[in-house]
Structure 1
Amino acid sequence: MEFNTLANTSIDELLSVFNHSFSDYVVPFHLTKEVLISKIVAEKLDMDLSVGAFEDGKLVGFILQSEKVENGEKIIYNGGTGVIPESRGKGLVRKMYDFIIPVLKERNANTLLLEVIEGNQPAIRAYENLGFSIVRRLLCFNGNIKPGKENDGISVQELKDFEWEKLRSFWDIEPSWQGSVFVLEPMPENYMTLGAYLEEKLVGYIVYGPTSKKIYQFAVDKSFRNLGIGTMLFNAISRKNGGQAIALNNVDDSSESTSKFLSERAGLNNWLSQFEMKRPI
């Protein structure tokens, strides 16, 4: 068994091993080549920081990773770990981390970050044995948006740029990696970003990916809540995507008002929960 970065691994080989690894996962799923490429680009995954386990020159396991600096802390995010069924039970995840952590230390990285499905006890125990700790619980929602009552005093318009200082002031909770400022900035053309205005004042916004059909961020100014602003934003997304089902992942469960809005007002289903886990390097 050999370990190396994924810098020289083809996207086709990675796709094949990715899908084989997740074919019997707690929540089985299958990616197309286009979706995997989109994931790599959207989450800013870096193949030079990602690691693979190779047996007889063939990829049998991987950890996909990205890097960001926030508040002086260099964070390495795990965007996906997989080992094909035939190669499990050999401690490959630990060995892949053993290989890549010295590389990350050379880059002065401080923290490892990942998400794991709440019911996946073997994975949770394995990460705890690697020194990870649970830091928060994240809720995942999906479904068709339930049309809500319109507020004629609110207008919804396209946002041309992110005024992060203003938008952050609307937040109750910090977005997870996939909806973080690092991932969304600069505003890419493949996102739909709408602002809600009350008498020309920006009082709420929403960021939606038409390709992934995911909402990455939404928030309403704390001084203008319970006026139907969130409903207006979700109604607008529903109209623009033709009423197709959407997903909104990794909502910090400490915000009861957000989860209540998503389930009761927007009509979405909390179908899955995850734990965000961290460990120092």
Structure 2
Amino acid sequence: MYRKGFVIMQLLSADQVNFADFVEAFNAAYEDYFVRVVMNQRSFKNLIQRDAILMTHSVVCVEDAKIVGMALLAKREQKGWIGGVGVIPHYRRRGIARQMMEYLIAQARTLNIETLTLEVIEQNHYALHLYKTLGFQPQRRLVVLENRTLSPLKNLTHEHYVVESVMPHQALIYFNAFHDEPNAWQRSLEAIKQLTQECWIIKERNNAQVLGYCVFQVGFGDLLIIDIAFSPTYPNIADLIKVLMNTIHQAYEGYSGHLINHPMAHRATQSLIEMGYQETLAQLEMSLFLSDQL
């Protein structure tokens, strides 16, 4: 518990408050965010499961039994992730976010987490400054890429390759081999298994070896790419990317397509831009190395 002016604020673990009230407060905290976020109880429970969020170690800030702020802590092995840091507009600039972040960092230490990661939208200068003062260091840019109308490239040669639809588990066995840098937290293998609906792979003709895959969701005219990965040793990765994605574009021509939290330095980025994808939002992934502070 701490006092801010004449207002007494209390920090509680997120599992101590009514879940419906928590979701309502979360939506209120994000109603004027750079990207509007609206959740219901079902979607939030799915988020908790998919991203390995620990409500027992996450935090809410309460004033007179009203939730005015929240922040989430997730854990996989010795890695942790912080997300959903929000404060209802009327209560901002009172140090609540800092108090909640310090609470989560302390919780991470009790859980023996070695590295804490979070993302912050580049334009969110206040949050970026806060995280830096707490010791978080920028690691890489994560971008949202969007293509408003999928259309196949003309005159793209496909005869050297075969693209086919498979069950997701048939492609995801290559997840570790095809990722020479980690995905963002929300695109971990555990999360992808829960998100994926469809999967297409690419191989050389007359060669059974899988060289790349794209897993995605389709709905209401939109194609959400969950993960796109390729063999890092293949010499013509740009060709693989364009042929695989062009085939998908042909199948879903006229749909919109997008990727979320895609590393800007990923080998597929430039090829996707050449196919009509545009950066619409960028975040900085930041890490706090708790093991260095022991």
Q: TM-score range by the shorter chain?
A: 0.7 to 0.9
Equivalent residue number for residue 188 of structure 1 = 194
Equivalent residue number for residue 79 of structure 2 = 75
Residues 152 and 250 in structure 2, CA contact (< 8 A), matched pair in contact too = no
In structure 2, how many angstroms separate the alpha carbons of the residues matched to 1:134 and 1:251?
Answer: 16
1:116 to 75, 96, 120: 120
The farther-off stretch of 128-137 and 215-224 is 215-224
The farther-off stretch of 141-150 and 121-130 is 141-150
In structure 2, how many angstroms separate the alpha carbons of the residues matched to 1:113 and 1:252?
Answer: 14
In structure 1, how many angstroms separate the alpha carbons of the residues matched to 2:202 and 2:256?
Answer: 22
The Cα shift of 1:146 comes to 3.0
Alpha-carbon displacement from aligned partner over 1:84-128 (angstroms, at most 9, x marks no partner)? 011112211221133333332222112221000112111100111
Q: Which residue type is aligned with residue 272 of structure 1?
A: L
- Asked if 1:97 is matched to 2:107, the reply is no
Structure 2 spans left out of the alignment, 5+ residues = 1-8
Residues 20 and 41 in structure 2, CA contact (< 8 A), matched pair in contact too = yes
Structure 1 spans left out of the alignment, 5+ residues = none
Alpha-carbon displacement from aligned partner over 1:225-266 (angstroms, at most 9, x marks no partner)? 3574323433454466674323212222234x422111112x
The Cα shift of 1:164 comes to 5.9
Number of residue-to-residue matches in the alignment: 273
What's the Cα RMSD here? 2.7
Normalising by structure 2, what TM-score?
0.81
1:41 alignment partner, SS class: helix
- Asked if 1:151 is matched to 2:158, the reply is yes
In structure 2, how many angstroms separate the alpha carbons of the residues matched to 1:135 and 1:176?
Answer: 11
Alpha-carbon displacement from aligned partner over 1:126-181 (angstroms, at most 9, x marks no partner)? 11112211111222212233323462441312135266674433335421111122
2:132 alignment partner, SS class: helix
In structure 2, how many angstroms separate the alpha carbons of the residues matched to 1:24 and 1:209?
Answer: 27
The farther-off stretch of 162-171 and 17-26 is 162-171
1:188 alignment partner, SS class: helix
1:136 alignment partner, SS class: strand
The Cα shift of 1:280 comes to 2.7
How high is the sequence identity, in percent, across the aligned residues?
25
- Asked if 1:254 is matched to 2:260, the reply is no
Larger of the two Rg values belongs to structure:
2
The Cα shift of 1:81 comes to 0.7
Equivalent residue number for residue 231 of structure 1 = 242
Residues 151 and 228 in structure 1, CA contact (< 8 A), matched pair in contact too = no
Alpha-carbon displacement from aligned partner over 1:4-53 (angstroms, at most 9, x marks no partner)? 11114344322222221112223334345544344333323221221111
1:178 to 186, 197, 212: 186
Normalising by structure 1, what TM-score?
0.84
**Do the aligned partners of residues 237 and 54 (structure 1) sit closer, same or farther apart at CA in structure 2, a change above 3 Å counting?**
farther
